[in-house]
Amino acid sequence: MATAVPVEQKWWSGGRSPFNVEYGKLMMWYFLMSDAFTFGAFLISYGTIRFSSNGWPDANHVFSSFPVLGSGYPLLFVSLMTFILIMSSVTMVLAVAAGHANDRAGVMKWMVWTIIGGLAFLSCQAWEWTHLYHEGAWWGSNPFTNFDGSKASTNFTNFFFTITGFHGFHVFSGVIINIVMLIMTYNGVFDRRGHYNMIEKAGLYWHFVDLVWVFVFTCFYLF
């Protein structure tokens, strides 16, 4: 890219965007940084409380159920959830790529898949939450014992529901955004504008939400 820019091209001297992006994308990047701090604060709080506690429940034991199959499958279900979410990121990339090619049908196809992925993830989360709820887990109540069998504080479930809930809320907003994008694409709004920048911005948000899940997943399920 750099070679395509004439030598005297001054990116920072005004009259144009220094990063060659429109303001919306710039705002999205800054918003994502901001949101990263929100999640960062949650996860760091989780870390400090967890490591100042005497013990912590075993994720392999807590998250071992699978719909229909029953229990005894540690982390299988959450692996499926993670796979779904990552696949929805892939379809999002394809939607953005189709947008670059101004291919309306392609954008619509891949946006539909991304939305389905998001909804599937949310359904899985709903199932997992209800399952845990029926086992007696909720904010303020924790039926699981520590690794060593001693009684655990409620902070395991407190943090689990708060942070995965906050993340689920982000996924939910992302699905709504994606649906709006789909409708706008369907109505030809972006064709009239001549570009699919909005899809790119929605994509940034979606990838961010996926990335956050990787951290949430690592903190709650792997450690």
Partner 1 sequence: MSNETVIHSLPDTASTHDIEPDGHHGHHKESFITKYIFSQDHKMICKQFLITGMIWAIIGGLFSVLFRLQLGYPDQTFPFLEDFLGKWAKGGRIEPEFYYALVTMHGTILVFFVLTQGLSGTFANFLIPLQVGARDMASPFMNMLSYWFFFASSVVLLSSMFIETGPASGGWTSYPPLSALGDASLGSNTGMDLWLIGMALFVVSSLLGGLNYIATILNMRTKGMSMTRVPLTIWAIFFTAILGVLSFPVLLSGFILLLFDRHAGTSFYLSDIYIGSTFKALPNEGGSAILYQHLFWFLGHPEVYIIILPAMGLVSEVMSVNARKPIFGYMAMVGSLFAITVLAFLVWAHHMFVSGLNPFLGSVFVLLTLLIAVPSAIKVFNWLTTLWRGNLRFTPGMLFAIGFVSMFISGGLTGIFLGNSTIDLHLHDTYFVVAHFHIVMGVSAFFGMFAGIYHWFPKMFGRYLNNTMAYIHFWVTLAGAYLIFWPMHYEGLAGMPRRYYDFSPWVSFNNFQGLNRFISIVSIIVFAVQLLFVFNFFYSVFKGRKVKTQNPWGANTLEWTTPINPGHGNWVGEIPEVHRWAYDYGKEGREFVPQTEPVGANEQKH
CA distances 85 to 92, 126, 169, Å, are: 11, 14, 14
Tell me the window of 95-103, 159-167, 186-194, 210-218 that interacts with partner 1 (CB under 8 A): 159-167
Q: Does 102 bind partner 1 (CB under 8 A)?
A: no
Q: Of these, 141, 173, 187, 218, which contacts partner 1 (CB under 8 A)?
A: 141
Q: Is residue 56 a contact partner of residue 153, using CB atoms and an 8 Å limit? A: no
Q: Of these, 6, 12, 68, 134, which contacts partner 1 (CB under 8 A)?
A: 12
Tell me the window of 78-86, 113-121, 135-143, 190-198 that interacts with partner 1 (CB under 8 A): 135-143
Q: Does 162 bind partner 1 (CB under 8 A)?
A: yes
Q: Does 140 bind partner 1 (CB under 8 A)?
A: yes
Q: Does 24 bind partner 1 (CB under 8 A)?
A: yes
Give the CB-side neighbour count of residue 28, counting CA atoms within 13 A.
18
Task: Give which of 140, 212, 134 is closest to 169, Cα–Cα.
Answer: 212
Q: Of these, 58, 158, 177, 204, which contacts partner 1 (CB under 8 A)?
A: 158
Partners of residue 138 on adjacent β-strands: 141
Q: Of these, 3, 9, 34, 150, which contacts partner 1 (CB under 8 A)?
A: 34
Task: Give which of 163, 198, 168 is closest to 181, Cα–Cα.
Answer: 198
Closer to partner 1 by Cβ: residue 41 or 76: 41
Burial class for 159, CB neighbours closer than 10 Å (0-12, 13-18, 19+): buried
Q: Which of residues 164-183 bind partner 1 (CB under 8 A)?
A: 166
* Smallest distance from partner 1 to CB 82, Å: 23
Closer to partner 1 by Cβ: residue 17 or 130: 17
Three-state SS letters, 78-145: HHHHHHHHHHHHHHHHHHHHHHHCCCHHHHHHHHHHHHHHHHHHHHHHHHHHHHHHHCCCECCECCCE
CA 38 from chain centre, in angstroms, equals 14
Binding site for partner 1 (CB under 8 A): 10, 12-15, 17-19, 21-24, 26-27, 30-31, 33-35, 37-42, 45, 48-49, 52-53, 139-141, 153-155, 158-159, 162, 166
